[in-house]
Structure 1
Amino acid sequence: MLIWCWVSVLNAQMILTGTVKDEANKNLSGATLTISKDSVSSILAYAISKSDGSFKIRIDNAPEKLFIKASYIGLTTFKKILERKSQELEIQLRPSSEELKEVVVKSEIIQRRGDTLSFSVEAFKDKNDRVIADVLRKMPGITIKPGGQIYYQGKPIQKYYIEGLDLLEGRYSLANENLAADDVSKVEILENHQPIRVLDSLEFSERASLNIKLKNDVTLSGTAKLGLGATPLLWEANVTPMLFNKKRQFIASYQSNNTGKNVANQVRDFSFNPGGSTYDIAKTDWVSLLNPATPPFSQDRWLDNNVHLASANGIQRLKSDLDLKLNLSYLNDYQQQQGSTQTTLYTPQDTVSISEVLDNRLFIKNVQGKATLEQNTKKNYLKNQLEFNTYRNTERGMLQRTDAAIAQHLSTPFYGFKNNFDLYKTFGKQLVRFSSNTGFSESDQFLRVRPGQFEDFLNAGNPYAESLQNITSKKLYTDNSAGMTKMLGKFTTTLKLGVALQKESLTSDLVLDDSDTPLGNAFQNDTDFKTSEVYLKQSWRFKNTSETWNIRLGVPVAFKAFDLEGSNAQALDAFVFEPSVYIQHKLAAKWELSISGNLDYNFGGLERLYPGFILTNYRNLQRYNAPILEQVTQNYSTSLNYRNPIKRLFAKASYSYGKTKNNLLFGSQIDPNGTSILEAVVRDNYANSHRFNVEASKYLSRLNTSLKLNASYSISEREQLLNATLVKNENTNFNLNGSLESELSAWLSLTYSGSLMFYNSKLNNSELQQLNTQQHNAEVFFYPWENQYFSLGGEYFKNSLTEANRNYFLNLSYQYTFTKRKIDLKLSWNNMLNTENFINASSSEFYIIQTRYVLRPSQVLASVSFNF
């Protein structure tokens, strides 16, 4: 067995040796030799000839054919295709007839080796950058969304590694926002990354992952910050130590503030599991308070909070390639929301206007955790992950309308847990795989509204003191499968057989005036919904030798049975075939084309099946006393990617089309007072959407400037019922976003971001009011001395509904740094103009909402911070 393994290693490894000479047979020193799979693929290995003209190149996992290129200034380039075997070459370069151009030799800040791009952190780092997220935002091709999720070339990354270890299991913002940039040497983008090593040559991945490379083998890093300010009394605290070495990683964090910073985003889960189970324990909010939509600017402008976050995360390598991970977090947040909304609803018969003044209090308590045991080798893969999630949330609200003052109280406790188990094991040339996913969740939700708003519908036109909506929902599921993967030459096939079972239950009742007697069957639910599924998933993958073509074809079939018990009892059996195809073609070293298409069947869950009315918020009643929802969706997309690391230019253009057929048509009955009743009727209908997107980013090294631009245009149309009238709704949306970060000189730097949005909605080809919005943010940094800076920032917002809808903000800050100890003293003055309100406009389908937010007052905060 040992001899066989040694022979396999030798077969996978190839060594090229030889000499490079000129036409006169003189040895050439400094000739560049590169190895790739073909003339357009990325470089696999390279070497520089020595003073005697000799070179030696070692290629691991060499393909059957190789392409070698040797070049030297002023001489012709040598090119040749080689067989996969160790050999010695004698290369002779002849004089070139082309006129030589000026050559500048410099160290590249972005390097590419195979499918890995390495970004030099030092090259992108500015004077005021402290954590790695500050630097990532400047790197071309990489985008950090407002919630913290990282995108590369328009797609979210699937893994965030630190020195090759996935410590945080999707909750990577905690590291991204606290890991000191000074401790990081490189940021690696792993294109087409397959995180399961045993599948590396078997299953293709179109997603990228990100890996943080540290400067030292043992690294103590992190952030510590303490701040105090006024008005009102302000505080901010952050203690986040980190330890990294080859066998152990640990991140602990305690953060607290009342300055408007939403640290809850740092424990958001961005896990991506392609091909995994679709069953999950996600929390369903059956009822809610009417909350203002999130405004399009930084939350610390308006979020009135008092938050505490504690988190502990550790990974320990027990033995070679066997890791134990623990992730735990606790969030306690109190938020106040104040403002008003002006909602305009367009119906075929009338236009309804609603004015509401909001004053909400939110109490959020969340505990979540994961325990993971994982072994990831080239021969075997084992992962068992136990996860739990609990919420103890309550909300209180006072809402003032022109005709009434309404008090609301909401309670939504929730708990859920699940266990995922995956085992992949090789037997000879075959890979056997087994997966099991089991979970349970329960939620008890309660909404009290005083006074009630549905006198005509609920109480024969008579006023009533209050409405009480009670809901209990439970979910239990298990999804188990076994399969096999086998390579057949250039093809790889996977066959997986599985069985999934799920049971959901919903009980609810609506009571008036604190009575023990519910309204009746029309306002009650006692429903069980059972789903059983037997599926057979087969996929084929083709990869040519040079890997310029990657094709994946999926041909899954499934038999699904649905059984609904209760007053709306029904059953449905369905045999579905959901084919999918993905084609990726490398047109050249810098160009890549991809095309995809798939057919999906979606059957509504219990949230679209309950027959009794539920008061979902103070002015909305809804039910789905109809057959099981059946949706058939076709999705097609194509994208063209360009990336040139040498010129630091990344670009992508894409188009997608979706068409959905529904058996149910959803309709709203909107009353003149703004209350609405949502129901579903049986009627086939279609929804279509088109989306075009172009994005580009470039780093100008001579100007120390990062430029990013994104433009998108979308069209969507669908049918719906408004006040018993069938209408066709068409929406068009154009967005243009851009950003610039530039270090203009040693004493001056600038950041800018801006966006324009044009939205238009039509009902039956009749145009509703158009909405245009724009926002601009700019900040200038002055460095009068090496260890000090002043910054002045301004923000401008405008929408087209009224001329008064303009907002201005101005901020000022000063920072002094003790260079030797790397301690920052910072004094910041936010909202210098003391802007008290912000008016935002948003639109969707048949309504337009203007929201006025009560903002945080002008405030001053002094803080001291340092990196470990």
Structure 2
Amino acid sequence: MKKILFTILSIFVVFAGYSQTEITGQVFDDNNEKLSGATVMISKDSVSSILAYGISDSDGKFKIAVKSDGESLSLKVSYIGFATFEETIQNKAQQLEVKLLPSSEALKEVIVKSEILQQRGDTLSFSVDAFKDKNDRVIADILKKLPGIDIRPNGQIYYKDEPIQKYYIEGLDLLEGRYNLANNNLSADAVSKVEILENHQPVKVLDSLEFSERASINIKLKKDISISGTATAGMGAAPLLWQTKVTPMIFTKKRQAIVTYQSNNTGSDVSGEIRNFSINFFGDEFNIDKTDWLSIQNVSPPPFSAERWLDNNVHLGSANILQRVKEDIDLKLNISYLNDYQKQDGSTQTRYFTPTDTIDIIENTSNNIFVSQLEGQLTLENNTDKNYLKDQLEFNGSWNTNRGLIDRPDAKIKQRLDNPFFGIKNDMRLLRTIGKQLITFNSNIGFTETNQDLLVQPGQFEAIFNNGDPYGEIQQQVSSRKMYADNSAGFTKALGKFTISPKFGFSIQDQQLDTDIFLEDGEEVLDADFKNRTEFVESSVYFKNSFRFKSKDETWNLNLSTPFQFKSFQLKDRNFEEKRSLDRLVFEPRFSVNKKLSAFWDANASAGLSYDFGELQQLYYGFLLNNYRNLNRYNAPISEETRQYYSGGIAYRNPLKQLFLNTSYSYSYSENNLLYSSNIGENGTRILEAVVRDNSFDNHSFKAGGSKYFRKLKTTFKLNASYNLSKRQQLLNNTLAEVNTQSFNLRGSIDAEVSSWLIANYSGNFSTYTSGFGERDFQQIETQQHTIDLYFYPKDNQYLSVSSEYYGNSLSENGDNYFVNLSYQFTFEKPKMDLNISWRNILNTDQFINASNNQYYYIQSSYRLRPSQVLATLKFTF
């Protein structure tokens, strides 16, 4: 104990003895006007590296903390259009007044320094022209190069390893989270800057009351009235290929519109352009996403561009229109229709690991998938400094059907799934200033319905349904409905540096599930164990209060949420006399803190407690045939899960050096009252049931990442790593086992303009996944993929590109996959048009062999790929 106390005391003395000087001041111009956004830098002397860095606020004031043991410091203050101010000052706390004088020579010098990146407060502005290469056409090509920004394979944008919350074009949120449509079609030539809005609060009235940890993106255009877009037409072989795309856009101060029609059979997955990446800010929100109760057996698609493997025939139409009715009042319409036909061909070998045995399944799969989907949103938004109103009506309808054939060594199995869905909801949020209080009201109501029908021939689970004898077919029917309402009211009030936001509300959700199983000749299975007539009602009365603290210098931001909820659950089934009910008063606190350590460093930490009582998908009494070899039911009490979570991170951001670094750690621990038991048969059939047994799950996650732009080399380098470790219990074939998993992922990219005639891009990914029972690891897999793109420019208006890709895994004997592409492009200046001739998959690699594993099984998949093909396209940019 004495040693521990001595160590703590020593650390305290060291930190206490380390001096820190606070330099404050104000920046003026030659007319004594306050200058906002002036750059203030402090170093040991005029030639040393920067010790601290700051930006003057709206009043021209700055405050910088400096750690240095020197007697003097070098102060440098710069602003566009003014001569740089340089002076040697004493290393002591002091108040300075800096006056900048105009200078044309200084303006040229500052423009050079700021042509890459500027910072004003919490806004970083990247110059598009500074990052643009000859082969860049749309704004997505620029975003992927910007340091600090990461675009995931599905198109979602991350900043400092967190998803962005808003995507604005000239300050307007036209697309409501569907920003792939702008990313992939807005011409890079029409954009002047990409702005990163750090700690962005999208609701103006909350800007000084609620701290936001998320960042947003704003696209700044070169013209006040901008008409832009793309149009593409292409033909190719073999087989006969076509590709058409027309995406006109208009942006003015009062109106924005992006309209598109796209069609192709070249493997381009256009559905990604209408994927919604919106982040929920309304609290507990009801979503109208479809629940797939039933499914056909699929082959896992390869982890690379769909143009290599997707055999499709797709049509997409989308209209996105924003009209500013009056100042700060916007009316938005977002609507899209997708019609797609896809074919999937491949084979899988699945190996299940149990504590006592291994089970192998071999399947050759051929599927036909028909997608028909209509989505729409109508939004009215009034966002001012005093009031906020957002009312959003959303609907979603789909009419999907799937057909599949499984060829196994012992049988051929046909599958047919009809999967229609309809959902509608309305979200309304109102914030109004009354006196010195901010009154809030939220209302969220919705309804969904789906009727799904799965037919499997011949029938499965013979021992259960037909005394062990083969039979012709089995049909599973599911009808599910859900109604939801959540209404709440509260207020927000500032008390000095503190803000309180109490809220009172009530919510109710009513779900109904009817399921039936039929055998050949329409014979209904009457046993109650194979039928469901379930109704699940969840109601909640809640009081939520948030306390926030923001220091005067905005270096500290603390948030404490203390919600109390009384939850009531009622579950009943007309086939069973037993009813399940549960009443709980829960307290789910959450605490988070953000600390700005310096101009470059900031840190964050959070902790919380939450409860989860499950959804109807894990609560029904009777068996349900989920797919041809999975039979599930959850005849057990209502599930209860208690989860603790903790996280912390630190980030470094230096706009002057275009360097971004971040690292974080998170830990979660949960306790559950139900354990899920899997009984796997020799033919791969699985019966899943819930068992009453206390169990736990814990998970450790580490992340680190960084990106750097090297200006002299015109190169962007990005590297990200993550490590995950988890442990949980599992019942496999009536044997209790502890399942441990470990995963590691490393990914990076380099975008370089090597010379005026060569541009090179590289991206790579390496990952490992290990799982096992207790101390025994039963499977480890390593996967990696590498892509290199080379663009050769014999002249400025044409290039020849060579692309090579490698994908490999350690489990498959033939797990090495190679691809080579060749492309030539000629650009016509008048009209602005690209003629591109591409030869894809030159090696004619006809199948992709991949392997993946999970907690207690691994799957080796062989997917039929598109053949070698040539495609010629004309692309107009306007």
TM-score (norm: length of structure 2): 0.90
* Corresponding residue of 1:336: 343
Identity rate, percent: 55
Aligned to 1:678: 688
Deviation at 1:103, TM superposition (A): 12
- Shift of residue 821, structure 1, vs aligned partner: 2.3
| Residue pairs, 1:295-314, within 5 angstroms | 295-314=302-321
What one-letter code is carried by the residue in structure 2 that aligns with 1:607? Q
Q: Deviations over 1:564-623 (max 9, x none)?
A: 111252110000000001100011101010001111101111111101100001000000
1:501 to 482, 496, 508: 508
1:75 is the counterpart of 2:82: no
What amino acid is aligned across from residue 237 of structure 1 in structure 2? T
Q: Secondary structure at the match of 2:87?
A: coil
1:156 partnered with 2:168: no
Q: 311, 330, 354: which is aligned to 1:323?
A: 330
| 2:604 maps to amino acid | S
User: For residue 389 of structure 1, what is the aligned residue in structure 2?
Assistant: 396
- The residue type paired with residue 807 of structure 1 is N
Please, which moves more after superposition, 819-828 or 333-342? 819-828
Q: Which moves more between the two structures, 416-425 or 561-570?
A: 561-570
Matches within 5 A, 1:626-705: 626-705=636-715
Per-residue deviation, 1:453 = 2.1
Is structure 2 residue 151 aligned with structure 1 residue 139? no
Cα gap change, 1:450/1:89 in structure 2, threshold over 3 Å: closer, same or farther?
closer
Find 1:818's aligned residue among 828, 832, 835: 828
One-letter amino acid matched to 2:166 = K
For residue 34 of structure 1, report the CA deviation from its aligned partner: 5.0
Query: Which residue identity does 2:829 align to in structure 1?
Result: T
Query: Is 2:437 the partner of 1:430?
Result: yes
Query: What secondary structure sits across from 2:446 in the alignment?
Result: strand
- Displacement of 1:458 in angstroms is 1.8
Letter in 2 for 1:751: N
- 1:759, CA displacement in angstroms? 1.2
Which residues in structure 2 correspond to 1:270-285 (within 5 Å)?
A: 270-285=277-292
After superposition, what is the alpha-carbon deviation per residue over 1:443-478, rounded to whole angstroms, capped at 9, x for unaligned?
Answer: 000000001221112211011111100000000000
Matched, 1:624 2:631: no
Deviations 1:791-811 (A, max 9, x none): 011111111113421111010
Amino acid at match of 1:651: L
Matched, 1:413 2:425: no
Alignment match, 1:475: 482
Equivalent AA in structure 2 for residue 397 of structure 1: G
> Match for 2:876: what amino acid?
F
**1:234-633 map, 5 Å:** 234-566=241-573, 567=576, 569-633=579-643
Alignment of 1:758-777 (within 5 A): 758-777=768-787
Judging changes above 3 Å, is the alpha-carbon distance between structure 1 residues 404 and 697 closer, same or farther for their aligned structure 2 residues? same
TM superposition shift of 1:534: 0.4
CA shift in 2, pair 1:326/1:104, >3 Å: closer
1:747 aligns with 2:757: yes
User: Could you say if the C-alpha distance between residues 19 and 128 of structure 1 is closer, same or farther in structure 2, counting changes exceeding 3 Å?
Assistant: closer
State the Cα distance separating 1:275 from its structure 2 match.
4.8
Instruction: Please say if residues 69 and 80 of structure 1, whose CA atoms lie closer than 8 Å, have aligned partners that are also in contact.
Output: no
Match of 1:856 in 2: 866
- Matched residues in 1 for 2:404 and 2:807: separation? 28
600 and 33 in structure 1: CA distance in 2 versus 1, 3 angstrom threshold: closer
CA distance in 2, matches of 1:325, 1:283: 24
Contact 1:66–1:81 (CA under 8 A) maintained in structure 2: no
Look up the equivalent residue of 1:43 and give its one-letter code. I
What secondary structure does 2:182 align onto? Answer: helix
For residue 522 of structure 2, give the secondary structure of its aligned residue in structure 1.
coil
1:798 counterpart = 2:808: yes
Query: C-alpha distance in 2, partners of 1:810/1:121?
Result: 30
- 1:43 aligns with 55
> Residue 802 and residue 517 in structure 1: after superposition, are their counterparts in 2 closer, same or farther (change >3 A)?
closer
Distance 1:92 1:838 in 2: 64
Q: Do 1:64 and 1:545's aligned partners in 2 also have CA atoms closer than 8 Å?
A: no
1:215 counterpart residue number: 222
Equivalent position to 1:233, from 222, 240, 243: 240
2:733 is the alignment partner of 1:723: yes
1:527-551 Cα distance to aligned partner (Å, 9 max, x none): 0000110010000110001110000
Distance 1:559 1:104, change over 3 A: closer
What is the CA-CA distance between 1:764 and the residue it aligns to? 2.6
Deviation at 1:33, TM superposition (A): 6.0
Contact 1:63 1:545 in 2 (8 A): no
Structure 1 CA distance for aligned equivalents of residues 133 and 63 of structure 2:
45
Question: Deviation of residue 293 (structure 1)?
Answer: 1.8
2:21 matched residue in structure 1 = none
CA-CA distance at 1:837 after TM superposition:
0.7
CA contact (8 A) 1:776 1:797 kept: yes
Q: 1:766 to 1:33 in 2, by over 3 A?
A: closer
8 Å contact from structure 2 (residues 38, 56) kept in 1: no
| Alpha-carbon distance in structure 1 between the residues aligned to 2:592 and 2:548 | 9
Could you tell me how far 1:770 is from its partner in structure 2?
A: 1.3
Aligned to 1:197: 204
Aligned with residue 128 of structure 1, among 127, 135, 142: 135
Give the direction of change, closer, same or farther, for the CA distance of 1:17–1:118 in structure 2 (3 Å limit).
Answer: closer
3-state DSSP class of the match of 2:136?
Answer: coil
Q: Partner residue of 1:98?
A: none
Q: How far does residue 820 in structure 1 lie from its aligned partner after superposition? A: 3.4
Relative to structure 1, the CA distance from residue 33 to residue 653 in structure 2 (aligned partners, 3 Å threshold; closer, same or farther) is closer
Does the CA-based 8 Å contact 1:512-1:519 persist in structure 2?
Answer: no
Q: How far apart, in 2, do the equivalents of 1:312 and 1:245 lie? A: 17
Q: Indicate the RMSD between aligned Cα atoms, in angstroms.
A: 2.5
2:195 is the counterpart of 1:188: yes
- Other-structure match for 1:96: none
Query: Hey, what does 1:4 align to over in structure 2?
Result: none
Contact 2:52 2:65 in 1 (8 A): no
Conserved in 1, the CA contact under 8 Å of 2:40 and 2:53? no
Contact 1:35 1:66 in 2 (8 A): no
**Contact 2:56–2:62 (CA under 8 A) maintained in structure 1:** no
Count of aligned pairs: 820
Q: Which sits farther off after the overlay, 72-81 or 848-857?
A: 72-81
Partner of 1:6: none
Closer, same or farther: CA 521–824 of 1 in aligned 2, 3 Å: same
Distance (whole Å) between structure 1 residues aligned to residue 724 and residue 596 of structure 2: 28
Structure 1 unaligned runs (5+)? 1-13, 22-29, 46-57, 94-101
After superposition, the Cα gap between the structure-2 partners of 1:653 and 1:33, relative to the gap in structure 1 and judged at 3 Å, is: closer
Which residue type is aligned with residue 56 of structure 2? L
Q: Assess, with a 3 A threshold, how the Cα gap between structure 1 residues 138 and 63 changes in structure 2: closer, same or farther.
A: closer
- Identify if the C-alpha distance between structure 1 residues 284 and 352 changes in structure 2 by more than 3 Å, giving closer, same or farther: same
Q: Secondary structure at the match of 1:412?
A: strand
Contact 1:42 1:115 in 2 (8 A): no
* Deviation (angstroms), 1:74: 6.2
Given residue 726 of structure 1, which amino acid in structure 2 is its aligned partner?
L
Residues 79, 438 of structure 1: alpha-carbon distance in 2 compared, 3 angstrom cutoff: farther
Give the TM-score of the pair, scaled to structure 1. Answer: 0.91
